[in-house]
């Protein structure tokens, strides 16, 4: 599961993945402002998952840590939005 040392690291990963992803509500044409379920679950379960093996396994499958165990890897549901992909 993605663990962030502080709010700045969490914001960096959100800008790196979430804000560029089709699952982020800002890329939708409709009025649906629901956030990505991966981000929501990490926000609600992250600390509980340290004690709950099922939650830990679910979060790890959705947004794992990188092989170095120091940084978050790419989210399993990340798919760059068209405008984000064009900017790269």
pLDDT of 27 reads 61
Residues 47 and 61: their CA atoms lie apart, in Å, by 16
pLDDT in tens, 50-70: 788 888 888 889 988 888 877
Total-model pTM:
0.68
Residue 1 domain-assigned? no
Residue 8 clears pLDDT 80, i.e. is over it: yes
Residue 2 domain-assigned? no
Highest mean pLDDT: which range of 40-44, 46-50, 61-65: 61-65
Q: The domain containing residue 45 runs over which residues?
A: 7-87
Residue (of 27, 10, 11) closest to 84 by Cα position: 27
């Amino acid at each position: 599961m993605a663990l962030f040392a502080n709010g700045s690291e969490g914001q960096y990963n959100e800008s790196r993945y979430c804000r560029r992803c089709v699952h982020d509500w800002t890329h939708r044409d409709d009025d649906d402002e629901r956030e990505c379920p991966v981000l929501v679950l990490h926000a609600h379960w992250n600390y509980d998952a340290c004690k709950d093996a099922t939650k830990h396994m679910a979060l790890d499958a959705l947004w794992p840590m990188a092989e170095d165990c120091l940084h978050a890897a790419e989210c399993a549901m990340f798919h760059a939005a068209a405008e984000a992909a064009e900017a790269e």
